Amino acid sequence: MGKLIWMVIVVLLVIWLLGIVLKIGGALIHLILLIAGIVLIIQLITGKRKL
């Protein structure tokens, strides 16, 4: 499950970066970044990640 969450974080960040580079998405880009950040913080706090 941990690998899946990290994969989602990476995908969301890539989509966010593409949105900034291509100037598309508007507020949706910031929402995606916010979701990715929240998931990352939850993962770091719970300490259940395995590398």
Q: pLDDT tens digits for 6-50?
A: 888 788 778 777 777 777 767 776 777 788 788 878 888 887 655
Which stretches does DSSP call E strand in the chain?
A: none
Of 43, 24, 5, nearest to 16 by C-alpha is 24
Measured between alpha carbons, how far is 25 from 18 in angstroms, rounded to an integer?
Answer: 10
Sequence ranges of the domains in the chain: 2-44
pLDDT given at position 51: 52
Residue 1 confidence (pLDDT) above 70? no
CA distances from 41 to 11, 19, 45, 48 (A): 16, 22, 6, 12
Q: Are 25 and 17 in contact (CB under 8 A)?
A: no
Q: In this predicted structure, what is the pLDDT of residue 50? A: 57
